[in-house]
Structure 1
Amino acid sequence: MTLPFYDAVKQLQDAYLMFPAFQKAFDQVEANLKLYRATGIAQSLLVLGESGTGKSSLSRLFTERYPMKTLPERDVIPVLFVSIPPAATIAGTVEAVLAKLGDPDPERGTVSVKTARAVKIARGCSVEMMLFDEAQHIQDRGRAHSQYFVGDWLKSFMDALGLPVTLLGLPRMQSLLQVNEQLRRRFAHRLSLSVQPAGIDSNEDNSLELFASLANALPLPLDPRPYGWRELGLRLQFATDGRIAYVKQLLVSAYEHAVNQGNTSITPDTLGSAFTASIWPSGIGQLNPFHSEFIFRPLDRLAEPFQMGEMGSGASQRRLR
């Protein structure tokens, strides 16, 4: 591969696309920050979305909007972005916070000592908002009482800081809030991060718009033939479930296939090969959204790429064709 190829791939991977749900969540997070700055009122938000819908991208983009500043006497961190570790314990969660705050020894001390230190450092760094990504890892801790303890620590930590907090996680995160009533009240405001709400007939239009906007970052044009643009949009919806990560994954693979084959455009045949190579190796024939004999149904059954999670999948709620 040549340098222009890698440059094009990097440009695609770095691209952010403000589809409606993403824009709404971003605007709400920013509104909470502005409210806090103007009034001192701390409002919290829960952003839910399946894997690949852009939760981490939203967090990174918002953190880039309000970057850390290094002053001679201290660091100023307006927005603290923390990824909660898998099977989160209270100790592991507070250590992740301390590490992001620049603490040189985040494992030192008891949980209460670590927590007090995290509050002190956060205030010293003028933190105004906290974003917790992978919040379902608290819920994944296991039994209800363990979930409650971690959730209760988070509630107490939020109270000590008095800052607006945004939790981002998979839909099953809601079960944690059912366990911890006080935490549930703090995150009464919830948003779903999906390309298109269920039940709306324009899924394919949104998927095509999303795909075409990202494809503009690549040197090769998108050619829908032998399908029309609307049908290609529908096939793209089934191939990616409307998730940003899968759209990018499919485009990168399709671009690589096209370059290797010396093609001058990205076609449905190219996308079909890319789908099998990068998303689902078993997606062939009737189970490949770009194949002429595709069965036009969500690929959310057992062992399929968008298999329904325990809290349900957006794909299963969409209309079948």
Structure 2
Amino acid sequence: MTRISEQLVCHDRFNYVKAEIEAVLARARDGDPQLLAVIGPPRGGKTKVVETFLNEHQVSASGRTREILSVVSPKHLTGRALPDACLASLGMATEMFKNQTTATDAFIKVVKRSGTKLIIFDETQHMLERGSSTTVRAAADYLKALFDQTGASIVLVGLPALTGLFQANEQLADRARRPIEYFPYRWDGSDYKSFRSALAGALEYLLENSWETFDCKDSEFARRMYVASAGRYGIINKLFMEVQSLAGSAVNKVASYQEFYQAYEKTIIGRFIDFNPFDLTVEIKPEHMALVYMKVMQEVGVEI
């Protein structure tokens, strides 16, 4: 039996963000590069979208050389850190270049020569977390130079704090599209319906593999999972993976409240609520659902 982590549920948020990244790649191919930020809290699914996008294009882009580059933003921002991270994404030795200017020029030349159409920077908030105002401004200038000189679309992925780069450089802000907000599903309205649909996809995986578990339309389980995950699909996936691990090699696999209670106890640090949401002695109320959503957003500096 495959693991649930290998069975990606392409829910609404995921599909929308992935389509936006595909669109900026297509625009660059047509000679109209775009600069897009994708922002959201941890465990929302941002990195999974990027990984899936890259995996798909590794298969479909055979014959194109380095059309898409993925760069992990440096954790300690210095004048050389960002150019060196870009060079490393190409497998180039950073010590070959004596300063920031030569490293930057070399990266831009290779990108243009290789026909690169999209550069993705993940964990972009690192550029602001440990950088001074001078180095943050330099990072913003560097990104502006890449965008202007390479003809490639650029996607910046990370926590909402990354938008500080646009405050550090108004010219970079003027070149960028409005950020895509990969936020958790809200606890009400059409957003909650999308959350229910995402959860149903995970339950269907278990049901299709002969698990004894909840019906996809079970509203009580959905409310408890919402409080447990604060509307983030990454946490849904984490809990389902733990339930699958707890079952081990058992012939009759069960995913009931008991199993989800244990999974929550073992894997979740309950920062947003002071009880286990799968404890049936506790009644889940709408205010619990609203509370966890507001807390996860406040944690990353987004006012509700």
**Fold equivalence (TM over 0.5):** yes
Distance in 2, Cα, partners of 1:145 & 1:300 = 36
Is the 1:195–1:242 Cα contact (8 Å) retained in structure 2? yes
Residues 1:271 and 1:107: Cα distance change in structure 2 (over 3 Å): farther
Is the 1:238–1:289 Cα contact (8 Å) retained in structure 2? yes
Q: Secondary structure at the match of 1:45?
A: strand
**44-53 or 291-300, larger mean C-alpha shift:** 291-300
Match of 1:311 among 292, 297, 301: 301
Residues 1:70 and 1:254: Cα distance change in structure 2 (over 3 Å): closer
The TM-score, its normalising length taken from structure 1, stands at: 0.81
Q: How far is 1:256 from its partner?
A: 2.4
Q: Is 2:56 the counterpart of 1:65?
A: yes
Match of 1:53 in 2: 44
Q: How far is 1:268 from its partner?
A: 1.6
Q: Is 2:19 the counterpart of 1:13?
A: no
Distance in 2, Cα, partners of 1:95 & 1:294 = 53
Q: What one-letter code is carried by the residue in structure 2 that aligns with 1:26?
A: K
Is the 1:46–1:189 Cα contact (8 Å) retained in structure 2? yes
Is the 1:203–1:237 Cα contact (8 Å) retained in structure 2? no
Q: Is 2:95 the counterpart of 1:95?
A: no
Is the 2:12–2:194 Cα contact (8 Å) retained in structure 1? no
Residues 1:152 and 1:47: Cα distance change in structure 2 (over 3 Å): same
Which consecutive unaligned segments of at least 5 residues does structure 2 have?
none
Distance in 2, Cα, partners of 1:282 & 1:35 = 41
Match of 2:201 in 1: 213
Match of 1:35 in 2: 27
Is the 2:40–2:159 Cα contact (8 Å) retained in structure 1? yes
Q: Is 2:122 the counterpart of 1:133?
A: yes
C-alpha RMSD over aligned residues: 3.1
Q: Between Structure 1 and Structure 2, which shows a larger proportion of helix residues?
A: 2
Distance in 2, Cα, partners of 1:22 & 1:95 = 31
Residues 1:143 and 1:300: Cα distance change in structure 2 (over 3 Å): farther
Q: How far is 1:29 from its partner?
A: 1.6
Residues 292-314 of structure 1, C-alpha deviations (whole Å, 9 max, x = no match): 2155415659xx9x48324127x
Match of 1:290 in 2: 278
Residues 142-168 of structure 1, C-alpha deviations (whole Å, 9 max, x = no match): 433331121112211221212111111
Match of 1:201 in 2: 189
Is the 2:11–2:197 Cα contact (8 Å) retained in structure 1? no
Match of 2:14 among 22, 39, 42: 22
**269-278 or 97-106, larger mean C-alpha shift:** 97-106
Residues 225-270 of structure 1, C-alpha deviations (whole Å, 9 max, x = no match): 9x97112111111111222321111001112234478753211221
Q: How far is 1:80 from its partner?
A: 0.7
Give the number of equivalent residue pairs. 297
Residues 1:62 and 1:70: Cα distance change in structure 2 (over 3 Å): closer
The TM-score, its normalising length taken from structure 2, stands at: 0.85
Residues 124-155 of structure 1, C-alpha deviations (whole Å, 9 max, x = no match): 22211111111111121343333112111221
Q: Secondary structure at the match of 2:174?
A: helix
Q: Is 2:238 the counterpart of 1:249?
A: yes
**Identical residues among aligned pairs (%):** 22
Q: Secondary structure at the match of 1:17?
A: coil
